[in-house]
Amino acid sequence: MRSSAAVSANEERALGAASPAAQTAGYFLAFVGIGLFTALLGPTLSSLAVSTGVTLGQISVLFPMRSFGYLLGALAGGRSYDRMRGHPLIASAFMVIAIALAVVPTAQQLWLLVVAFFVVGIAEGIVDVGGNTLMVWVHGTKVAPFMNALHFFFGLGAFVAPLIVAQVIAWSDGHVAWAYWLVALTAIVPALWHWRVPSPARPTFAHDLTNARGQARVGLALLMATFFFLYVGTEVAFSGWIAGYAVARGYGDAAAAAVLTSAFWGAFTLGRLLSVPLAARLRPQQVMLLDFVLCLPGMAFLLLDGRSPLSLWAGVIVVGLGMAAMFPTMLSLAESRMRITGGITATFLAGSSLGGMTLPWLIGQLFEPLGPRVMPWAVLICILAAGMTFALVNTVSRPRLNRDRQ
């Protein structure tokens, strides 16, 4: 017997009568929230370590545990969006995030922090799969600029979060509790929006991985998931550890490092904004090439900084611009090569979560014994590997026929 939340294709069409503009605005709002939540951990990591009485190496377990929760949420969400109305799932996930973030500042033991961020990760995975999948369902073959705009709003939220932390540190003599409580309150807004706006209709095509060319599609989906593993691991590691890197290298205190993190997300956000018109005019391959061309000199600034603050800031800003459009560009390329279902999006985001688990945690284990410069070297290696993976995806796959993309 079907779940009461499950709906047929005809029912979904009836529910999908909402304006595409209202649906799209809801996904933009949701991704502002996801950006806020994602960027909150990095600049508060040292404060959370102090409040729980653990080292930076120990507190870095929050990265893999959050990403493990994200993995479970993405996999569960992928199946759920193919069977249920999407917006109630997104709304429920945001309410869970609000509660979990409100608990974080009260945690005096590491295990309680781990549980809170694990729960946040599950809910983030559900929202992320939903926003990316439903945006494709709403806009179809015209999704590229909307997808880049969606991820611009993620960057906007990520840019604001460190600024909130810096202001809270300045106002409260180093305590970060109000930063978490303020961000927890913001999660209520997208929850209410998605409860009120009807979900889009689910496309009528069958699951892409079960068609006659299923074996080839599975291989392509896994190859794309490998790209997301490398890219998201790089993004989370860089944004999560750049503050610790700056403090360890003697560039300033925690408040200044939080502003540096915000500079990364500001450049990241600007890059995603610029990528919206680019995505409407250029092929994904051309946009991705521009991204890599920016990332490599940005990393060179960091690796050859000679303890120059100007070089550090230049490197952070250029890397932020370069990384900005990689994720949505690969999603746009994926839409042109296969039919996007919740399950396929979950496969991509499962790779993302594994990357977000692995690289930041690995840097945390090596940061103190090998020194802070392990961070930019690890990031550079992953950027190069992601570039090679994208080139392989583009070589082994071909665009779908227009009739298959309806």
pLDDT tens-digit profile of 213-260? 444 477 888 899 999 999 999 998 998 888 888 888 877 777 778 788
Across the range 300-328, mean pLDDT stands at: 86
DSSP character string of 49-72: HHHHT--HHHHTTHHHHHHHHHHH
pLDDT for position 142: 80
Cβ–Cβ < 8 Å for 366, 360: no
Read off the DSSP letter of residue 140. Answer: G
pTM over 0.75: no
Tokens of 85: 């109305």
The CA distance from 406 to 402, in Å, is 7
Across the range 27-44, mean pLDDT stands at: 87
What lies within 8 Å, CB to CB, of 161 at 6+ separation is: 35, 36, 37, 38, 39, 40, 43, 179, 183, 262, 265
Phi and psi torsions of 67, nearest 5° = -70, -30
Rg (C-alpha) for the chain, rounded Å, is 20
Tokens of 27: 């996904």
Across the range 382-394, mean pLDDT stands at: 91
How do the residues of the chain divide into helix, strand and coil, expressed in percent and rounded to 5?
80, 0, 15
Residue that is written with structure tokens 């750049």 in the block: 242
Quick one: what percent of the chain has pLDDT higher than 70? 89
pLDDT for position 17: 52
Across the range 115-127, mean pLDDT stands at: 94
Give the pLDDT band of residue 139 (cuts 50, 70, 90).
confident
Tokens of 249: 């290298």
- Going along the chain from its start, the domains and CATH numbers come out as 18-202+211-399 (1.20.1250.20)
Q: What is the pLDDT of residues 36-80, one digit of tens each?
A: 888 788 778 888 888 888 887 788 888 888 878 988 998 888 888
Number of H helices, E strands in the chain: 16, 0
Cβ–Cβ < 8 Å for 59, 112: no
Quick one: what percent of the chain has pLDDT higher than 90? 28
Helices (H), 172-249: 177-186, 188-196, 214-248
Torsion of CA 154, 156, 159, 162, to 10 degrees: -80
Across the range 7-18, mean pLDDT stands at: 46
Find the range with the poorest average confidence among 19-28, 103-112, 166-175, 377-386. 166-175
Mean of all residue pLDDT scores within the chain: 82
Across the range 90-116, mean pLDDT stands at: 93
